[in-house]
Structures are given as structure tokens and as C-alpha cells.
Chain A
Amino acid sequence: MKKLMLATAATALMSGAAFAASHAQDVKIGIILGFTGPIESLTPSMAAGAELAMKEVTDSAMLLGGSKVVPVRGDSTCIDSGAATAVAERQVTADGIKGIMGADCSGVTGAILANVAVPNGIVMISPSATSPGLSTAEDNGLFFRTAPSDARQGQVMSDILMEQGIKSVALTYTNNDYGKGLADSFQAAYEAAGGKITISAAHEDGKADYSAEVASLASAGGDRLVVAGYVDQGGSGIVRAALDTGAFDTFHFPDGMVSAKLEENFGTEINGSTGQNPGTDSPGVAKFAKLVGGAFDATSPFTPESYDAAALIMLAMQAAGSSDPAEYKTKVMDVANAPGEEIYPGELAKALKILKDGGDVDYVGASAVELIGPGESAGNYRELVIKDGKITTVKYR
């Protein structure tokens, strides 16, 4: 037994050495998203976005002397912190990933950050975790996000409603980090602007019956119902029950509710409802859509952010000249922000070349990335309205 272990250890050492010797090694990057669970309808195109960026870099053969980038998918489940931590742990220890594009929901992202990323020193860039709590989480400079904090979304939400002259709303949120964080920031912003929140009630996901919740919301009243939930979960249940009982006929949907599924579930029944999700009218969006072609839905929420998150990891590696997270973590902010040549989707090869030659880039990407403060997006939002059963863009703010 002892001999066998010795032999195994020796083999492992040798293969490790062999890896280091070859100049252009494969770089593995984890894509940890909730492929099952409350946002499973959003994640396929998010993962496809990230993989598109990785393919672009691999095809360019410019990263660290021609390294291939290999995506490793993992299921964060969005809600089960234990499962998400296990997946991340396995990717770090067994697959040997050099960075994580993920996770998606705020709760599991915080769990992976604290339990896997920080102890193992792995860089994480989340495309969609928006809880304000993550801004102050202890991260040793390893955590970034291409999504803005919900503190900003709450402000934007309040502005949209105020501009439409809606002064009183009922608010319901999904009972987790995302829902609570968003509801709190919205409440603070809305009340500061003189609005009135008649009731702020949590709802649990995965229940079949929301008539009691809707009954309370209806009784409290308000001009509109703000549903800070998930479209694949309780959020849709609340909207369904509210429509059936005639409690509310217009709603306001934050990012977790904005998806093609919303149109599919309710169509014209929610005409006149409003909402917002991260988005921008920078030229990057159009370029991204063109780059994607028809391969997947380029406008699905957090898909541009996912492309950008993956791109940032790889550009930072190139800037540092190493795929070691400890070395490239300091470069993420440099490549994301000015000064430097502006980089849009489809131009990753150009960026890699500039960085290789010692130049500087300002990655704009598909979602107009500008990292502020503790490494999070400054926040551009798309204001939308449901018209004839379709989600239509009003403007960007």
C-alpha cells in the first residue's frame, strides 16, 4: 500500500512537472451557474456567452503563448449553498480551474467566495450576483462582478416609478439574499423620494399556492405591485394569483423576473407593467448580438455580463502574464477601466495582442463594463415596459 501511494505521488509530481514544462498549457475556467433551480431559464444563454468568449480567445491562440481555454461547467443550483460550495471545491481541487466565471445568485456566490475562492485563492467574477452585501464581503481582492449592486438597482427602480407618477406600491420579495437586499435598497430609495410602500412582504419560492400572500398585498393596496422574485419560481406564482383575483393588473419587475418566460407565462395580461434589468445602449450590445448571430439569445438577462466576466478573467491573465490567480487578480481592474484602447466584443484577439506588447486596454465589452469601488459594475439599466405582451425597451439609464 505504501509503495502504491509513493508511486502515485511520484507520478502526480512528474505529470505536474511535465505540465509546467510545456509552454502553452490549457487554462481551465469554471462556469458555475444555476443550471437547475429558480433561474434555470436564464443560465443556458449565460453559460453560452461565457463559452463564446473562451472560444474566441482559444481561437486567437494569443493567450499566454497560445494556451487553450477550457470551460468547466458546474451547477450552483442558485439556492443550495452546500451544493454550490461542493461543486466549486471539486472544480478547484479536481479540475484545477484558474478562475470562476460565477456564481449567479447572491447567496451561493457569497458561500463559494467565503468557503472556496478565498481559502484557495481563486479569482471569481460573477455576472449576476447583485446583493449589496457582497460589496463589503471579505474577498482578499479576489471577487469582482460585472453586475451592479442592487443598491443601484433600487435607486433606478425608484426613479422609474417616480417618473411615471406612481407614488404608492405594494412590495413582495423572494425570501433570500437577493430579494431582501433589493427590497431594502428599493424601499430606502423610494421612501427617500417621497413614495409610499404599503406593505413589504416576503414570499417563499417553490410553493404551489400564493393566495394568502396575494390577499395581504391586495388588502394593503397600491398603484402597482413590485415583484422582486424569480420568474421560474414564486414570482410567477404571485403574479398569476394577483391577476386571477384582480388584485393588481400592472406590476414592476426587477431583473430576476425579466425573461422570455415572463412573456410566455402572462403575455398581454400584464400590459402596461414596467421593469428594468441591467443593460446598456453602448455599441458593445449590437456588436455582441452580431458576434452571437443566432447561436443563442444575446439579449437574455446577464448574458452580455457573462461574456464580459469570462473575457475579463482571460485579459487579466494576459496582462499579468500568468494564469495564477494570485498574480492576475490585481490586473482585473486595470484591464476593465481606462486608460487604454477600448475593447468591444469580438475584439479579444486585438486586446490580447495589445496586452502582450505591453500596452493598456480599457475593456468595454457587451455591457459597458466600468468597475468601481470594490470591483463591481457601475450599473447601466434598461428600462422596459410590457407592450402587447412583449418586453420592449423604453430607454437606458
Chain B
Amino acid sequence: MYRVVIPGDFISDAVDRAGEGTYVEDGKVYAIRYGVVDEKEEIKVVPFVGKYIPTKGDVVIGKIIEISFPYWIVDIASPYEARLHMSEMPGENRIEFGNMHTYLDIGDLIVAKVINIDPMMRIDLRLMEDFQPGGAGRLIEIPHTKVPRIIGRKGSMIKMLKEKSKCFIFVAKNGRIWLKGSKEEMDIASEVILMIANEAHTSGLTDRVAHLLDSYSYSSNRMARK
């Protein structure tokens, strides 16, 4: 069973195991966030919600919101904007002041990796070259705190989702999810993902998701037979 805590709740005396979402005062570990306690390795509080703060190495889905030579300014569903330098764009063609928009224009979506964050919270991105949405598919957004639940233990949940919905699914660290498939497949996948996000704090979720996915494939088989 999950233990829900609010900020300031006492969690444990094991100060040396205090991890993310906790703070130590007078030899005791307290919660710093509203969420669920996870004591598997270190003592952590996994928050229910919260803004995405990038860390180095994260793969995110971003949206170009501004072109400011020599950078593209990218919205990554975070309080901080990220930037993609012109030199990150592959190809021999020289990018010049006036033609940056011919490579990536405002509103375009990209898959990128966070390569650096400085103390001023300037975030540098690198394009994941072989892996770009390019206008195909659908984008859905969930709170980034639910991403581990979508992926599941050792990727079990996402594997099941991919198999049963027959959809291409790419989950980025910032809670944006890229789907590619037929309209029906994407409808099913997005519905199931939103359900997981809504019920992320409950137990027995994997079984319920499996049931839901099976009921969809059952009804779609029947439709096909008609």
C-alpha cells in the first residue's frame, strides 16, 4: 500500500538514507513534497505533480517557439526555455542569419537531448538526428511525474502498450509522448496513457491496463469481422 505524505510529514529516522523529496532536521527525515513515499533503496518522496526541471542527459520533446540567431529557442514543458544551437543542425548547407526557419520553423517539434545546464539555468539541447516527428503522428502531454509509471518496472508497461495498441510510442522525460499509428490505434493508446497518468498512484494498475487494452482489441476484432 502507498503512503501519502504532505510537506513536513515525518518519514523516518534513517538520516543516511534520505533522498529526493525529503529534508533532514534534528536527525529526522521529513517530506518536502506532497506525494508518495518510496523506501526501496533510499527514502524518497515521489511527488504527484510538479514542474519538469531538466537534468543532463534527459531526452525531451520540444517545440520551437522563437528563432534568435544563432539559436532556436525551444519550449520543453518546463519553467525554463531551452536552446538549440545552429551548429547542432546536420548537413553541409550553411545556415545563415536569415534562413534558420527553413530548417526548423516556429511550432516545429523536435526530439532532443539535454547536453548541458549551467547555474543560470541555460539549457542546451542536441538534436536526436535520426529520430524526428516531422509532422507524423500525434503528441500528448502528461505530468512528467507520471512518466516512470507509463514506462513501468523495467519497461513492462510501455512494452505491453506498444504490443497491444500496435502503435509507435515514444515517451520523453518531460511528459510529452509521441504516438504514430492509425487513427484508431492512436486513440486507444492515448486513452490508455491518460488513464495510467490519472491512476498512477493506485495499485494493480498493470492488470487494469491489460484488461482495458484487451477489451479494445476484442471490440476492434469484432468490428473487423463485420
Tell me, yes or no, whether A binds B. no
Write the residues of chain B forming the contact surface with A, with a CB cutoff of 8 angstroms. Answer: none
Write the residues of chain A forming the contact surface with B, with a CB cutoff of 8 angstroms. Answer: none
